[in-house]
């Protein structure tokens, strides 16, 4: 049956709609995805950033929710995900020190959750487990191609994020957040960014906080998913957001130059900048591996403990109306098997603690820290001293740990003794675990910051240990050079001498001498002089020793200094170390009066004096000598340049005088004959276009100075490409120069056959 025009139009319209639908749900689903899948209003480009009123409203909602997240219980336990020997999730009762339950299931992510709930990816599902029984409270399938990034819960609602692509690489990426009612199993809402990964979310009360594209935090309604506030960070990246006891914290990544920063979601957060948002950042030297204050929410939470899991800051917040306040005014650094406690006010080390095994997880409370070793041992460390007060073994090799320890204090530290941070740092430095060399070097910098005189002795003793790696030797050098206390120990070190039989080493004078000079300690002068004359003193230490003598010396040492200068001013063992001899001469001038000046002048004039020393003595005796020498050299160089230029001008004049007024026709003929190989391809091409061609006439000009040909005109002029081809060939010909500025010339190519061409000039 024939199709009527209206039918044809309807069919085409229907087909077009079908193609669009297939395109959106098929290969291009990610492009049209938000239009079809988003069920709440969020992540719109026009939503205002850093609106103070929006942020204040969120703070009010958090205050209404209080410190209980609608579901946590008071029973203390640790939930552990294991991958060996078989995958399972187990719950360990801390008060009873026994396993409550174990559920065999695939473990494909770290654990997330709260007091009564543990959430993880198991197979292709996001599963929420009841902490008391291990039963499944909710299970939601993850769409194929999407990766799980994290989960949180508040009340009966679980939220989780998935993504396509990665946050730290270029290219397409997309993020999704889904909310599910765990009581009914019904999906409440779903949002898709359309552009940018969503990190692990946090939830408290009726608000959900989700980091986005590493520089935004969107606040969504728990029940409807609508965006109610958005924070944009302008000069730093956000790598996590955590909800703790009714407060929300987020973090800026650290760098090699600056430590990580912890922020609170409050009124100052609206500034959006690191310096104006009221954050807390440690004032200690940057720790290796750039630890942060939370787990990176944009890194896929695969099970197991990697380096970022074993290098991290921990803290316990306490309520404060206007700033970040840390319990006990203390924060902690976990680094593999070590924990270091530091003052939040002064950044001073308060104690260090070392576990027998590497630590996989740490949890800070007001009273102490719970740690879980990689062998499954749970320990409790005192917040005041770092002592291990309690431990409980588990039959687990953890791949992830979730703590729930509200108010649980398994033991209290009753010892009146307080740890010595100096000894703790020294133990870290002497740890022979080569994995920890950067951490050990960092511990050296912390030890050097302690204003305790005995630290100077510790640093010198460590420096004398030849078995320490070079990185530690470098750190020790820097720490000693910055010391402002411990002068007595430096003076004692001056008495040390190298002795083969006694197996004693020379003191590190290259480090001690600058410190003594800084103290301007005259009592050290005899020791400095002894090491100056000691043949076992390394040549590299001679210059700092001489500088310290110049700083602390007086007229009583001039005779010894004269003897030293006379003895060594021509000694080749000081090649490369002439600065030491020059500094001694400065001291002779400073303390030796007229006789000293006479001696130094004689050394300057002695032909045997080391050249490098003589050069410095010239400047020492006549500070303007170097400037005078430079000026004289500049004059000589200028005179030489002028003479050279005059010679060149003379040669140019002579050459010009020998030039002809114009080039003779025969000269042009010779040059064009030599260039025939350049012209021949052009003639052959012209013959292919016009077989009757018998001659080509070329009219052109020659520059008298450069010898370059220009302004070429060709007869016949109507053969396509001929003039252009010959013009290009002529650019490669350089004629001899002549006196007149310009000369007209012509050249005729006679074509007597396809394979032969004759030329004449006019």
Q: Distance between CA atoms of 216 and 353, rounded to whole angstroms?
A: 37
Tokens 């009914």 locate to 184
Residue 505 pLDDT grade (very low, low, confident, very high; cuts 50, 70, 90)? low
Q: 658: buried, middle or exposed (CB in 10 Å: 19+, 13-18, 0-12)?
A: exposed
Q: Hey, do 52-65+81-404 and 665-761 end up sharing a CATH topology, with the first three levels equal?
A: no
Query: What phi, psi does 313 have (nearest 5°)?
Result: -85, 150
CA angle 280, 284, 290 (to 5 degrees): 80
pLDDT tens track for 45-54 = 889 999 999 9
Query: Among 19-28, 372-381, 613-622, which stretch is predicted with the lowest mean pLDDT?
Result: 19-28
Element (H, E) at 712: strand 709-715
Encoded tokens for 207: 């608000």
Stretch 362-382: mean pLDDT: 94
Q: Distance between CA atoms of 468 and 471, rounded to whole angstroms?
A: 8
End-to-end CA distance of the chain: 87
- Neighbouring CB atoms inside 10 A of 418's CB total 11
pLDDT value for 328: 92
Percent of the chain with pLDDT over 90: 58
One-character DSSP codes across 510-566: HHHHHHHHHHT-GGGHHHHHHHHH-TTS-HHHHHHHHHHHHHH--GGGHHHHHHHHH
Alpha-carbon dihedral angle through residues 606, 609, 611, 614, given to the nearest 10 degrees? -60
pLDDT value for 168: 66
Instruction: Give me the helices (H) in 466-522, please.
Output: 470-481, 487-493, 509-519
Task: Decide if pLDDT at 370 tops 90.
Answer: yes
pLDDT value for 11: 44
pLDDT value for 423: 94
Query: Among 224-233, 332-341, 344-353, 534-543, which stretch is predicted with the lowest mean pLDDT?
Result: 534-543
**Residue 582 near residue 590, CB atoms below 8 Å:** no
Tokens 């993880």 locate to 120
Task: Decide if pLDDT at 717 tops 60.
Answer: yes
pLDDT value for 498: 62
Query: Among 414-418, 439-443, 626-630, 704-708, which stretch is predicted with the lowest mean pLDDT?
Result: 626-630
Q: CA-CA distances (angstroms) from residue 628 to 536, 633, 635?
A: 40, 8, 10
Tokens 């006439």 locate to 697
Q: Distance between CA atoms of 116 and 395, rounded to whole angstroms?
A: 22
Domain positions in the chain are 1-36, 52-65+81-404, 421-485, 665-761
CA atoms within 13 A on the CB side of 696: 27
Encoded tokens for 291: 């630890």
Query: What phi, psi does 411 have (nearest 5°)?
Result: -160, 155
Stated length of the chain = 762
Stretch 278-289: mean pLDDT: 90
Contacts of 532 (CB under 8 A, 6+ apart): 542, 545, 546, 549, 564, 584
pLDDT value for 105: 96
- 131-136: Cβ within 8 A, 24+ apart: 131/73, 131/77, 131/79, 131/91, 131/404, 132/73, 132/75, 132/100, 133/101, 134/89, 134/91, 134/100, 134/101, 134/102, 134/103
**Residue 182 near residue 196, CB atoms below 8 Å:** no
Q: Distance between CA atoms of 547 and 582, rounded to whole angstroms?
A: 10
Q: What is the pTM of this model?
A: 0.71
Element (H, E) at 250: strand 247-252
pLDDT value for 19: 41
Residue 78 pLDDT grade (very low, low, confident, very high; cuts 50, 70, 90)? very high
**Residue 114 near residue 133, CB atoms below 8 Å:** no
Strands 388-392 and 378-382: antiparallel
pLDDT value for 17: 39
Stretch 297-326: mean pLDDT: 88
Q: Distance between CA atoms of 521 and 20, rounded to whole angstroms?
A: 86
366 three-state secondary structure:
coil
pLDDT value for 499: 60
CA angle 107, 336, 197 (to 5 degrees): 50
Query: Among 8-17, 154-163, 451-460, 539-548, which stretch is predicted with the lowest mean pLDDT?
Result: 8-17
pLDDT value for 35: 37
**Closest among 264, 405, 381, 268 to 326, alpha carbons compared:** 264
pLDDT value for 114: 85
Q: Does domain 52-65+81-404 have CATH number 2.40.50.100?
A: no
Task: Decide if pLDDT at 36 tops 60.
Answer: no
**Residue 364 near residue 344, CB atoms below 8 Å:** no
Stretch 586-602: mean pLDDT: 92
Of 1.10.4160, 3.40.449, 3.30.1150, 1.10.260, which CATH number belongs to 665-761? 3.30.1150
**Closest among 703, 699, 700, 710 to 738, alpha carbons compared:** 703
**Closest among 74, 64, 65 to 154, alpha carbons compared:** 65
pLDDT tens track for 409-445 = 999 988 888 899 999 999 999 999 989 999 999 999 9
Residue 34 pLDDT grade (very low, low, confident, very high; cuts 50, 70, 90)? very low
Q: Distance between CA atoms of 47 and 559, rounded to whole angstroms?
A: 82
pLDDT value for 428: 96
Task: Decide if pLDDT at 14 tops 50.
Answer: no
Backbone Cα Rg of the chain: 42
**Residue 195 near residue 174, CB atoms below 8 Å:** yes
Encoded tokens for 148: 């799980």
For the sheet containing 349-354, what is the strand order? 311-314, 330-335, 338-343, 349-354
Instruction: Select the more confidently predicted residue: 173 or 71.
Output: 173
Q: Distance between CA atoms of 66 and 62, rounded to whole angstroms?
A: 7
């Amino acid at each position: 049956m024939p199709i009527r025009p209206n039918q044809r139009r309807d069919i085409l319209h229907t087909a077009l709609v079908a193609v669009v639908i297939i395109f959106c749900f098929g290969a291009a689903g990610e492009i049209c995805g938000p239009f079809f899948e988003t069920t709440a209003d969020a992540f719109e480009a026009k939503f205002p950033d850093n609106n103070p009123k929006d942020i204040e409203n969120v703070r009010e909602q958090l205050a209404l929710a209080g410190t209980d997240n609608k579901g946590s219980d008071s029973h203390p336990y640790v939930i552990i995900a294991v991958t060996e020997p078989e995958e399972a999730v187990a719950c360990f009762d801390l008060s009873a020190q026994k396993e409550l339950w174990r559920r065999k299931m695939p473990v494909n992510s770290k654990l997330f959750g709260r007091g009564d709930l543990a959430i993880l990816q198991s197979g292709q599902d996001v599963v929420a487990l009841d902490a008391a029984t291990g039963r499944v409270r909710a299970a939601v399938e993850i769409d194929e191609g999407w990766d799980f990034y994290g989960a949180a819960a508040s009340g009966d609602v679980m939220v989780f994020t998935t993504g396509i692509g990665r946050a730290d690489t270029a290219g397409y990426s997309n993020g999704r957040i889904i909310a599910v009612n765990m009581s009914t199993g019904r999906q409440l809402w779903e949002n898709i960014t359309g552009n940018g990964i969503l990190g692990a979310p946090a939830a408290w009360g009726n608000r959900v906080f989700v980091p986005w594209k590493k520089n935004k935090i969107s606040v969504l309604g728990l029940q409807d998913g609508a965006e109610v506030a958005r924070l944009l960070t302008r000069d730093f990246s956000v790598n996590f957001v955590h909800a703790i006891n009714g407060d929300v914290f987020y973090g800026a990544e650290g760098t090699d130059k600056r430590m990580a920063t912890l922020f609170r979601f409050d009124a100052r957060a609206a500034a959006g900048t690191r310096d104006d948002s009221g954050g807390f950042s440690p004032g200690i030297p940057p720790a290796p591996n750039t630890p942060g204050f939370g787990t990176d929410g944009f890194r896929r939470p695969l099970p197991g403990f990697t380096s970022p899991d074993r290098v991290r800051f921990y803290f316990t917040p306490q309520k404060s109306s206007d700033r970040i306040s840390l319990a006990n005014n203390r924060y902690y650094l976990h680094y593999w098997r070590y924990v270091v406690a530091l003052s939040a006010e002064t950044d001073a080390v308060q104690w260090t603690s070392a576990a027998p095994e590497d630590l996989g997880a740490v949890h800070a409370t007001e009273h102490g820290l719970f740690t879980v070793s990689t062998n499954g041992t749970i320990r409790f460390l005192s917040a005041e001293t770092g002592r291990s007060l309690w431990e409980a073994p588990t039959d687990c090799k953890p791949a992830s740990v979730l703590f729930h320890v509200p108010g649980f204090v398994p033991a209290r530290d009753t010892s009146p003794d307080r740890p010595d941070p100096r000894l703790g740092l020294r133990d870290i430095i002497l740890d022979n675990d080569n994995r920890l060399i950067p951490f050990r070097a960092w511990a050296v910098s912390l030890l050097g910051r302690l204003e305790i005189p005995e630290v100077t002795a510790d640093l010198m003793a460590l420096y004398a240990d030849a078995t320490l790696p070079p990185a530690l030797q470098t750190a020790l050098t820097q720490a000693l050079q910055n010391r402002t206390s411990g002068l007595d120990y430096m003076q004692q070190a001056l008495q040390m001498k190298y002795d083969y039989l006694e197996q004693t080493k020379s003191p590190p004078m290259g480090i001690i001498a600058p410190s003594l000079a800084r103290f301007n300690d005259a009592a050290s002068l005899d020791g400095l002089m002894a090491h100056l004359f000691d043949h076992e003193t390394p040549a590299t230490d001679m210059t700092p020793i001489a500088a310290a003598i110049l700083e602390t010396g007086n007229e009583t040492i001039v005779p010894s200094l004269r003897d030293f200068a006379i003895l060594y001013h021509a000694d080749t063992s000081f090649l490369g170390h002439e600065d030491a001899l020059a500094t001694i001469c400065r001291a002779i001038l400073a303390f030796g009066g007229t006789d000293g000046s006479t001696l130094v002048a004689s050394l300057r004039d002695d032909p045997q004096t080391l050249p490098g020393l003589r050069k410095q003595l010239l400047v020492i005796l006549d500070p303007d000598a170097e400037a005078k020498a430079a000026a004289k050299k500049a004059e000589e160089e200028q005179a030489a340049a002028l003479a050279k230029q005059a010679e060149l001008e003379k040669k140019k004049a002579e050459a010009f005088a020998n030039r002809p007024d114009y080039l003779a026709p025969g000269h042009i003929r010779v040059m064009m004959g030599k260039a025939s190989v350049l012209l021949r391809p052009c003639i052959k091409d012209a013959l292919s276009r016009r077989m009757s061609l018998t001659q080509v006439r070329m009219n052109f000009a020659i520059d008298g100075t450069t010898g370059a040909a220009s302004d070429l005109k060709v007869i016949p002029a109507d053969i396509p490409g001929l003039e252009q081809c010959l013009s290009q060939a002529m650019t490669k010909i350089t004629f001899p120069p002549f006196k007149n500025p310009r000369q007209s010339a012509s050249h005729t190519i006679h074509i007597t056959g396809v394979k032969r061409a004759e030329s004449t000039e006019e």
